[in-house]
């Protein structure tokens, strides 16, 4: 499962509740509050923009909680990128798109899915 923004949070939440999930990718989604990481069965990949302070404030809870529960959680923060950095790269009006972060994050996503899905 791959989720972006609100969907990224939902992707992480789904990893907390779905016994049959094989992998979850969280793009700039927050860590679910009061999560019981011990029930997570799927590995989780988190990809975040360095300038996204609201979401990034939730990364330490995911990192420490998943590690304490012995679960697989890998996170990457792309400096200079904000929330929604993977969006349409031609969106220069809002200045959200970040080509360098996208070029780094997408291959990580594909490699993570190949590793955990055997594709």
| Spatial separation of the C-alpha atoms in residues 62 and 30, rounded to whole Å | 9
| Spatial separation of the C-alpha atoms in residues 62 and 32, rounded to whole Å | 8
Give the residue numbers annotated as catalytic, written as ranges. Answer: 5, 52, 83
Between the alpha carbon of residue 60 and those of residues 56, 69, 78, 96, 110, the distances in Å are 8, 14, 16, 24, 24
């Amino acid at each position: 499962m791959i989720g972006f923004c609100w969907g990224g949070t939902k992707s992480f939440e789904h990893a907390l509740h779905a016994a049959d999930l094989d992998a979850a990718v969280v793009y700039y989604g927050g860590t679910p509050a009061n999560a019981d990481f011990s029930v997570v069965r799927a590995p989780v990949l988190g990809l975040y923009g360095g300038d996204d302070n609201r979401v990034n404030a939730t990364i330490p809870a995911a990192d420490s909680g998943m590690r304490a529960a012995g679960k697989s959680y890998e996170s990457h923060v792309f400096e200079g990128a904000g929330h929604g950095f993977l969006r349409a790269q031609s969106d220069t009006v809002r200045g959200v798109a970040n080509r360098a972060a996208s070029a780094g994050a997408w291959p990580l996503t594909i490699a993570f899915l190949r590793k955990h899905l055997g594709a």
